Amino acid sequence: MIHLALTKQLKLNSKDVILQFASHLNSKGRKESTIKRYCYDLEDCFRYFRKKEISLDALTISNFNEYFQYLTTDRNYNEKTMHRIYVVLNQFYKFLQLNDPSIQNIIPFTNYSAGPSRALSTDDFISDSEEKQLLSILKSSIDLSDKQLKARPYLMDRNDIMIRLMLYYGLSLKECIDLQMRDINFAQNELTVHSKDGIKRLIRLEKEDRIRLYEYFVTIPEPVRPHYHSTHPLFVAFDFNRMTFHWVYDDDSPKALTEIAFQKMLRLEVKRAGLRKGLCSQHLRNTFILRKMKEGLQLEELKQLVGFKTSVSLKRFFQYLEDDKLIN
């Protein structure tokens, strides 16, 4: 556990601690933009633990392990961003130790490695049997509450096509959430995807998946349905109180489904399917990449297919295949 001297500081006012840390960074000659970034990362970290109802005066190594896992799997943070956050937390502990050398810096003892990306294992992918169970449960009403059953006809197609876009087309969760109506061309079976690196790529949907996407679209009642060729979100949030899709009248637009809402949905489906805890959107995307590699796609082809700016992240996948002697 964190030393008592630290717990008192955090419990007293976490914002004060962050301001003191910012002042320390300023005295070290750090740029203002760097200081703002470091403070934001700390605030975001504390906010995560408060939301999880984990007391800031009782943080453990395990808590930080879970936080790093959340950033990599749920938020899909890249290696560069993860390394920055690791450095921020590590420097924060060192700052606290200046006033009390007895405080233990627990960050270096977490599972996160600040060096090269860790090697992939079978746990980073969804197996064929897990995939079959997950897609099957999406059409099932097993273990649903009465309220969930009422909403099911509206949500079944939406949830199904989103998972398929990640599993069979390699979209990340953020890419799915960010899709707008102007990005879909139903007539041509085409979808324009915008990656976090600003790379735009055109994806051709299989006819069956285009139909699935359209079937979801028409389940949305016309008064709250997103408009064709507009900046309205493609995937819309659902209002369980009104039992219809959510329209924001101030913006005159449907409310976009959030990443958190999708993650909550996927956790429920994984649980209903009896699958291992922790399966997330990153597992779906990882599986897509691995399958394309097994089909023989090369580094540059894959980089373009999944919208990566560089091919560095893909090297782990090739190493995984080589280690398992799946390719020579």
**Contacts for 95 with CB less than 8 Å, ≥ 6 apart:** 20, 21, 24
Rounded distance, CA 197 to CA 206, Å?
Answer: 26
**pLDDT tens for each residue of 20-55:** 999 999 998 888 888 999 999 999 999 998 898 887
Task: Provide the pLDDT confidence category of residue 104 given band limits of 50, 70 and 90.
Answer: confident
What's residue 208's pLDDT? 96
Q: List domains and CATH numbers for the chain.
A: 4-109 (1.10.150), 123-323 (1.10.443.10)
What confidence tens digit (pLDDT) does each residue in 142-154 have?
989 999 999 999 9
pLDDT of residue 60: 83
d(CA 118, CA 112): 9
How much is the pLDDT for 113?
Answer: 56
Torsion angle, alpha carbons of 128, 263, 144, 218, to 10? -90
Do 155 and 238 form a contact (C-beta atoms < 8 A)?
Answer: yes
Please report the sign of the dihedral spanned by the C-alpha atoms of residue 264, residue 267, residue 271, residue 272: positive
Percent of the chain at pLDDT above 70? 91
Structure confidence at residue 11 (pLDDT):
44
Residue-wise pLDDT tens digits, 205-253: 999 999 999 999 999 999 999 999 999 999 999 999 999 999 999 999 9
The percentage of residues in the chain with a pLDDT greater than 90, rounded to a whole number, is 53
Q: What pLDDT, on a 0 to 100 scale, did the predictor assign at position 298?
A: 85
Residue pLDDT, tens place only, 168-215: 999 999 999 999 999 999 999 999 998 877 789 999 999 999 999 999
d(CA 267, CA 53): 19
Q: Does the structure show a pLDDT above 50 at 8?
A: no
Angle at 282 between CA 117 and CA 127, to 5 degrees: 105
Q: What is the pLDDT of residue 118?
A: 64
Better pLDDT: 202 or 99: 202
pLDDT given for residue 14 in this prediction: 67
Check: CB of residue 248 under 8 Å from CB of residue 236: no
Is 90 exceeded by the pLDDT of residue 72? no
